[in-house]
Structure formats: C-alpha cells, structure tokens
C-alpha cells in the first residue's frame, strides 16, 4: 500500500469519506433528461465565489472614506499590480451574476419548477435575487464617483415618497439629510459584511432545500408532465434511472461554467468599459449635478416604469405589489401542469412579459 492509499484509508476509517463521496457524487442521481439550464445554479455559485475573491482583493486597497475612496479606486486601477483586472472582474461579475440570475429565474418559471413542494426553494431564491440587487446597489456607491454619488442620491430619494415615514426612511438610509460620508460607511458595511453574509446563509438554505426536495424533473421528453406530488407526506424526488452527478453532470456543469467564463473574459478584456460610463471616472461632486444619470441596465425597467407612471408613489406601489406577487407565485399558481407548451396562456404572457421588460429597458436607456 503506497503512502497515499494509506492516508486515504486513515481518513476513511475515521470520517467515512468513501461512503460520503459515493452518496453525494457518484451515487447522487439526476434526471436523465436534465438540461443545460440546470447548470445556472453552479454558474451562479462560481460567480459568487469570484465576487468574494475579487472583493477581498479590492478590500486590501480600498479606503471607505469619502475623502479617499475615489483616489483609492483610481490607485487600484492604475498602480496596484493586476488591480485593473480584479476591479474589472468585480464590476463585470456583478452584472453577469444578475444576468445568470435572470436566466435561472426564467428557467424555473418556464419549467414550472417553483410548483409544490418547492415553495421554499422559490422563496429562498427570490430572497437571494433581492439580496444580489441590494449588494449591487450598495456597491455602486463605493467608488464615490459622480455616477455613484448621484445615482445613490436619487435612488435613496425615491424612498421619500413613502407616506408618513418617507423622510425618516431617507435619512435612515443615508445616515444624514443628504448623501455623504455616513452613507458611504453604511453602504460599505452592508456591501462587505451584512449582505454577503446573508447571501452565503441563503445559498446554504437554498442548497439544503434542493437536497431535501431533490432535483425537479424537467418537463421535456415525457408523456406525463404534470406535477405528481399530492402533498400527503414528505417525499424526496429521486431519479433511480438517472445519471450520476459525478462525472456525468459535473462535466456538463463544468462545460457550462467555462463557457460563461469565456463570456466573462470577453467582457473583461475586450469590453472593459461596457458597464463604466464616463461619469464613473469623475470624482463625486455634491455641487455639480451631471446632465443625465442612468441606473445600471437591470434597474432600467424600474426607472422607466417610474417615469411613465403619473407619480413616484404609484410607481413604487406597483413595484412593491409586483414583488409580493412574484414572491407568492407558488402559492397562487396551484396547477399541476409544468410543460410550458401545455400552458399556452402562461407561455404567451411570459414572452410578452420578457418583451415588455426588455422594451422598458431599451426605452429607459434611450429616453
């Protein structure tokens, strides 16, 4: 027995690593008709890891002080070896993470994977989605540029339309009457401690729920695509004739992750300023309002919705109602059918919704 085998046996007899690997990797069976959309979860995990890693590297040099924040980011971009790379990766990563989140959400929606008994999976995913939006918004302020300063000013202003407590809410968010050093401190703590820790916890919960309910069967290539679970008792959805997670699906996952990383690399190296307008490189000046500030692409539909509705309060109310509705979707949609083509009205509405969403985004961009 060579030393490596000896070490392996030494560990195995203590913690049963062989049995664990068999259970979680080679013996963990997934549906035979599983598709590439199921890899979006793994892609999101990789992107979150990249964000954490690049975020830690940025933290080494970033100074969360209104007087020094912009200079420290400029220093990272120009003086720190490979600083430009990890800052660009961090910024591009946040955008591509949201893109992957949209893909994940839509795939779950189209394949009816949110249906019972996966209400908690959907809810935890919904919370994660909002947390990622929140971490993006708080991170936006940290470079202390004209773009971040004014975008945050107007974003926090919008809360002021909430009746009765609006003004207090704005002050609570900013830590002062207007955006300033206390806002930067708050957003910094939220961005680097509170939200990432909550995201990590929610990812753990999301994966735990996935393990408890089992992977959902894709509604494609089957004669009966209805949801078989009747709610009598807890059931783990296993797939005895499925494919093992390792190596079969792990390799497919890896292929999808690498493809996404190719897209990531293309943006980082060839379109590094795709998400950085010129105002992002001008230091914040509270006395100089830029001509026109636009939010990031993923907030453009919100932006445009608020602009086309007669009042901001109505706009916020519509969005709040929509978010509540989206969160409660599995409790509203109790139908058993999961195949999108067997739900023609749902499919039509879905496509119209996506077109409207993209339309509002484009409208918001050019308005």
Report if residue 26 touches other proteins, rule: CB under 8 A: no
156 in helix, strand or coil?
A: helix
Q: How far is the CB of 166 from other proteins (least distance, A)?
A: 13
Residues 6+ apart with CB under 8 A from 108: 114, 122, 125
The single residue among 26, 95, 116, 157 that binds other proteins, judged by CB under 8 A, is 157
Q: How far is the CB of 314 from other proteins (least distance, A)?
A: 11
Distances, alpha carbon 155 to alpha carbons 118, 139, 255, 281, 367, in Å: 34, 13, 39, 20, 18
29 in helix, strand or coil?
A: strand
- Enumerate the β-bridge partners of residue 145: 283
Report if residue 353 touches other proteins, rule: CB under 8 A: yes
Report if residue 77 touches other proteins, rule: CB under 8 A: yes
Q: Residue 30 phi/psi, 5° resolution?
A: -115, 160
Q: How far is the CB of 244 from other proteins (least distance, A)?
A: 9
Report if residue 251 touches other proteins, rule: CB under 8 A: yes
Answer yes or no: are the C-beta atoms of 190 and 138 closer than 8 Å.
Answer: yes
Q: How far apart are CA 361 and CA 54, in angstroms?
A: 29
Q: How many residues bind other proteins (CB under 8 A)?
A: 84
The single residue among 17, 20, 200, 269 that binds other proteins, judged by CB under 8 A, is 269
Which CB sits closer to other proteins, 7 or 308? 308
Report if residue 46 touches other proteins, rule: CB under 8 A: no
Q: How far apart are CA 212 and CA 237, in angstroms?
A: 9
Report if residue 331 touches other proteins, rule: CB under 8 A: no
Q: Which of residues 184-213 bind other proteins (CB under 8 A)?
A: none
Answer yes or no: are the C-beta atoms of 229 and 117 closer than 8 Å.
Answer: yes
The single residue among 25, 52, 169, 350 that binds other proteins, judged by CB under 8 A, is 350
**Closest-CA residue to 295 (of 98, 144, 177, 136):** 136
Which CB sits closer to other proteins, 224 or 291? 291
The single residue among 10, 234, 236, 270 that binds other proteins, judged by CB under 8 A, is 270
Centre a 10 Å sphere on the Cβ of residue 60 and count the other Cβ atoms it contains.
10
The single residue among 11, 60, 176, 278 that binds other proteins, judged by CB under 8 A, is 278
Report if residue 314 touches other proteins, rule: CB under 8 A: no
Interface stretch with other proteins, choices 21-29, 43-51, 182-190, 290-298 (CB under 8 A): 290-298
DSSP state of 217: P
Q: How far is the CB of 234 from other proteins (least distance, A)?
A: 26
Report if residue 175 touches other proteins, rule: CB under 8 A: no
End-to-end Cα distance, the chain: 72
Q: How far is the CB of 349 from other proteins (least distance, A)?
A: 4
The single residue among 323, 336, 341, 365 that binds other proteins, judged by CB under 8 A, is 323
Distances, alpha carbon 311 to alpha carbons 295, 314, 360, in Å: 19, 5, 17
């Amino acid at each position: 027995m060579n030393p490596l085998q000896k070490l392996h046996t030494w560990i195995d007899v203590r913690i049963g690593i062989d049995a664990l690997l068999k259970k979680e990797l080679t013996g963990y069976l997934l549906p035979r008709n599983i598709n590439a959309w199921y890899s979006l979860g793994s892609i999101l995990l990789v992107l979150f890891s990249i964000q954490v890693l690049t975020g830690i590297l940025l933290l080494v040099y970033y100074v969360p002080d209104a007087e020094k924040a912009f200079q420290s980011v400029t220093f990272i971009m120009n003086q720190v070896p490979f600083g430009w790379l990890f800052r660009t990766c961090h910024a591009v990563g946040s955008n591509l993470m949201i893109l992957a989140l949209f893909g994940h959400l839509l795939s779950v929606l189209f394949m009816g994977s949110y249906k019972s008994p996966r209400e908690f999976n959907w809810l935890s995913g919904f919370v994660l989605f909002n947390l990622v939006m929140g971490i993006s918004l708080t991170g936006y302020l940290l470079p202390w540029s004209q773009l971040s300063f004014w975008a945050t000013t107007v974003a926090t202003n919008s809360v002021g339309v909430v009746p009765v407590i609006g003004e207090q809410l704005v002050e609570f968010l900013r830590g002062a009457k207007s955006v300033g050093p206390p806002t930067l401190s708050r957003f910094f703590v939220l961005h680097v401690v509170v939200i990432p820790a909550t995201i990590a916890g929610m990812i753990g919960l999301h994966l735990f729920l996935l393990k408890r309910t089992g992977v959902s069967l894709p509604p494609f290539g089957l004669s009966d695509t209805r949801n078989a679970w009747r709610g009598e008792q807890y059931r783990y959805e296993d797939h005895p004739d499925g494919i093992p997670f390792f190596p079969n699906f792990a390799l497919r996952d890896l292929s999808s992750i690498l493809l996404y990383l190719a897209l990531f690399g293309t943006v980082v190296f060839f379109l590094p300023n795709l998400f950085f307008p010129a105002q992002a490189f001008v230091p914040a000046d509270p006395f100089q309002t830029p001509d026109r500030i636009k939010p990031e692409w993923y907030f453009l539909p919100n932006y445009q919705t608020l602009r086309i509705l007669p009042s901001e309060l109505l706009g916020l109310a519509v969005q709040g109602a929509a978010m509540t509705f989206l969160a409660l979707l599995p409790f509203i949609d109790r139908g058993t059918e999961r195949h999108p083509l067997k739900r023609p009205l749902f499919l039509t509405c879905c496509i119209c919704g996506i077109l409207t969403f993209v339309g509002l985004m484009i409208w918001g961009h050019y308005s």
